[in-house]
Structure 1
């Protein structure tokens, strides 16, 4: 049979197939061993994991090798072995094996960071090659990796040549009929995978690790490239639009709100403070968005390693929200949740999408209260589209620019972090101390103007390669996450110590919150514990410190602050005042780019892109999910919030100009 599928003209193709299948098996086996403590290791699950993997490997091969397959099919027999044939074949084989070795190497680094096969994050990384390549170089021995890659390619070419695979490809009498017989099965498989198989079908297990190991990296990459934005209405369970909006609006009735257009499918409203004794305050607000700070790193949330002494101290001198969850797994998803105060929508973050400027954000609330708005980032804000998003929504930009200009339509001010302001820098930007020093400098200037300011500060030090200035803490730079967390904590302490010396400190509120956890990976559809993050509101003059146990989400922090300051304001935000939530109001939104979770009362509803709806009991003690009887009212609330969020984005309901009409 192999003779018919791989006649001599197809000898090199057969060698490539065997190489790809063997390497893919080794990668899959490595991931299985790597995650052995998390995978379902029963015999049946092991067999299904590897059989499913082989199925996707064959599908990947059918698509990946199609150009060379068609070349072998159509190239005339009389020109076998000609100079043109040899040049094309050698070059094509070289490129093919270079790609598969590179992709398999890339999968190891990606798995190390995310415990997943390639997804839309890998697609995004293709755009930001400077940061990614520099990060890889600082995190791994890049010369050794490149040397190994080149050596493997050279070795493969040498072995193929010595085993006379090229000779068999060029010196044969394979007929057109034989070539057609060998080509058609692969074409059929390619068509079948292209039209009838999705990457989601590899997710046969309740164990996320088994599902990820079952996939093929290259196939997953192109699946993510094709599906980085999913229309909720097409892929998820829905309900009548009017009913969904009514359900969402009803959530705000316990709060003192007035809908601008009560009969329209929108949530635009006026929010009135519930406490009429509060005199509206307008302090400066500095928001510190900490990169990848999971709640589990704080002693005040159960850790015992003492790597966050500053934040643990702040927990006793702030409004400390200890039951708060991030909406997603990436910085841009956290930025979306915080600025737009919106549940996550399927696919990539709105920060990365088109039509992401001129939106109603928390910045609009600050603007209407008379504030200047500034976005600080220690790297170049072109990364992940941050400058376009923040600049296009009215924030001045302060970043470490390398010459990338803002869109001509964006008229905000841009300030560079100059070389003489930098003491330490890695792939992702300047160290946290440097960005905070820039914040202090700009705050001094703003204070002189007499106008209140809102600063959104995005840190970078708690990110691989985990490097920071030496001598600041007792953990050497570049040795791991714990050191980066401790340096992050140290830098916040140093910043607050300097801020306390400033004349503007007494009239400044500091909001501190993580963008997402250090890792969202786990064995479940959504690993709830890996969305738990800390949040603080520090230096409020009208509220005593308190630990807030209310279940809530990133989207609720700034609506809570606005209420605490006694503001009446126009709102298009989903978030609610955490301090005024009744037990029945409590909920949190968690998700990744395909799974959308609604957490309430230790129960989790997970909406999937195959119109799946799974309902679980969540055991916080061992972070496990157990299927439970469907609750229809719970289901309606979950679907309503996500459906309305997606609808508002797609129909322009997040746009300022639409809301003002």
Structure 2
């Protein structure tokens, strides 16, 4: 039996079968309709499961129905983006000859998109456990380092990884089964009907992607309905969260403008005024071309400036330090704190290692963009302590147990003052090698060896020692510590091991001839798993800090302080007079009793804490002010501020300044700077 069709009709002998009948009526648009159906059901089911998992925080927010409805809106945005690529190609593929190509293209595309969104949804719970939100730009950044990431996943998330791959493959197979009739499908649509419907379909998909009639299309800020960042992220879906972050990376240089705008003159005036507000000698601002360049006069005059060693501890938040309200897994640090300057209210600027490196070694303020360690315009000629000290004859060295290329550290450091890099390849017969490289005891042994060698040559030195043992999957050698947790591979056991290794290093350093002319800083890059149900979980930005060595007398630093304050303070204690662009406070020159201030970047929220008052800037939303209780470790009393409120303007100036300085390349030393 045969059929006679006119020349405008495409025909195949296989009729629509099974569930595919629900989509077959849509002709050439049938697979895209199937993508919407599969996607909406899958993403909604995932969102409901995540909300049930986080039921206590969802209940506290009290917006169950709103989350589900707004979630569908986000899913339509994502599915529209996924459908847009083949949809735009359709006018080229509705001829009789191209029809098989259209079927093959859309068949493969739908299966691939379903697999992608399912994989990211399956990965979401583990990501929330680690980072407190859905997958975001961190996922994109980690993709650049497959060896380290795969090793970490296999060591610490093996079950989740295998399970995720199996679930993804299952969904891809089910989607292929559903779409199988489409591979040989007939359509009664004529080519002119397909083209006639195309503008309407494009319009509907475009409106779904834009999702609003406002002048600005939908973005994550529109779905920030609560003060709980994690709950806001549940409203989204993981694929769109990642895609939006990837799209936003093109605007790194102007990223801070999501909070508002201010003239350059007002930015500089606000920041300079704030820097003058903590007592001590008045600042001497030196340049209009480098707006933050100011003269640092040391409080400790020395005939020969001291050497500097910074021990940057991976993920050592206050949550691991008993005297700061954490668990007792840092006994060595607790002993050492009585020998130097102990910071009681020191706060990290962000949640990633590169942000900690940025704050500690450059004194640069945080922004919503990536840390400057990874940004193109900062790879050469950007101010660092190493650049300043190298110009004064110091041997400057970065010592790491892993591969220094990770997070672009090698390139940033070598372009900005570090004359030597020690990493994984430089360890002969290490005691223990984990997913992230040599163990901390190997690291500290290498650091001690290198410092002794340089000191023996009579050279001044600056050594940045960056630990890695306290990083998932938390691997360390046997027989070093009495485990705190019964299960071996936990963060608390890893911290205790890292603390043990650090304690051995300081025993060696104290017995060495370089101790008397070296100042040491022990500080964390950030806390581990920074998350919470407030706009900014301030308690998870709290980190330990200790300055000791040489002739440093014991002292408690009670003021609120930031990582950006450490550079100026160290230079002052070392006895170095210098002109630098750092706006951090020289805490050695401040009178006691100052309220202090700290800046914190958390997802798209920026916090400026003055004393215990925290101003939070939110993307495309009014700023709010809250009060932080450092004893109870609670943030409360959110109140919206007018944009012209003095506190809001001060916070805005501090987040706009670094973006502007980076964009204009004005965070540097003058070309003529020397000793």
Change (3 A) 1:380 1:86: same
**Contact between 1:287 and 1:512, CA under 8 Å: does it hold in 2?**
yes
1:150-180 Cα offsets, whole Å, 9 max, x none, are 641464156426xx6436x613323446645
Contact preservation (8 Å) 1:256, 1:273: no
Please point out which of 360, 366, 372 is paired with 1:350: 372
Aligned to 1:187: 202
* 1:615 shift after superposition: 1.8
Match of 2:453 in 1: 445
Q: In 1, are the aligned partners of 2:381 and 2:415 still within 8 Å (CA)? A: yes
Q: Classify 1:115/1:559 alpha carbon distance in 2 versus 1 (closer, same or farther; 3 Å).
A: same
The aligned length equals 636
Cα distance change of structure 1 residues 177 and 287 upon mapping to structure 2, 3 Å threshold: same
Where in structure 2 are the equivalents of 1:186-335 lying within 5 Å?
Answer: 187-192=202-207, 193=209, 196-228=217-249, 229=252, 231=254, 234-253=257-276, 254-256=279-281, 259=284, 261=286, 266-274=291-299, 278-280=301-303, 282-303=305-326, 305-335=327-357
Correspondence for 1:509 among 509, 513, 519: 519
- In structure 2, relative to structure 1, the CA distance for the partners of 1:474 and 1:650 (3 Å cut) is same
Q: Which residue of 1 aligns with 2:131?
A: 114
Q: Counterparts of 1:258 and 1:588 in 2: how far apart (Å)?
A: 19
1:437-482 deviations in whole A, cap 9, x for unaligned?
1111211211221112111111111111111112222337852211
**Measured at CA, do residues 257 and 271 of structure 1 come closer, stay the same or move farther in structure 2, by a change above 3 Å?**
farther
- CA distance, structure 2, for counterparts of residue 530 and residue 76 of structure 1: 56
Q: In structure 2, list runs of 5 or more residues that go unmatched.
A: 1-20, 211-215
Distance 1:247 1:68, change over 3 A: closer
Tell me which residue corresponds to 1:411: none
CA distance in 1, matches of 2:640, 2:217: 32
Listed one character per residue, the Cα deviations across residues 33-82 of structure 1 (whole Å, up to 9, x for unaligned) are: 33333334465x01111111110101100111223344566533645984
* Residue 625 (structure 1) aligned with residue 625 (structure 2): no
Out of 160, 166, 174, the residue aligned to residue 148 of structure 1 is: 166
Q: Contact 1:273–1:563 (CA<8 Å) still a contact in 2?
A: yes
Which residue is 1:549 aligned to?
Answer: 558
Question: Which residue pairs with 2:3 in the alignment?
Answer: none
Consecutive unaligned residues of structure 1, counting only runs of 5 or more, are 402-415
Shift of 1:138: 1.3
Change (3 A) 1:650 1:308: same
Measure, in 2, the Cα distance between the counterparts of 1:534 and 1:554.
Answer: 10
Scaled by the length of structure 2, the TM-score of the pair is 0.87
Identify the match of residue 569 of structure 2 among 560, 567, 573: 560
CA distance 1:580–1:31, change in 2 (3 Å): farther
* TM-superposition CA deviations, 1:345-385 (whole Å, max 9, x none): 23111111011121222223323443211111221111111
Query: 2:334, 2:405 → 1: CA distance?
Result: 34
* Structure-1 separation of matches of 2:268 and 2:330: 42
Q: CA deviation at 1:3?
A: 6.9
Q: Please give the per-residue CA displacement for 1:611-653, whole angstroms capped at 9, x wherever unaligned.
A: 6322222344251232237483323322232333322222221
Aligned residue in 2 for 1:405: none
Provide the C-alpha distance between the structure 2 equivalents of 1:527 and 1:41, rounded to a whole number of angstroms: 16
Conserved in 1, the CA contact under 8 Å of 2:306 and 2:575?
A: no
Aligned to 1:408: none
TM-score normalised by L of structure 1: 0.88
The separation in 1 between residues aligned to 2:165 and 2:390, in whole angstroms, is 54
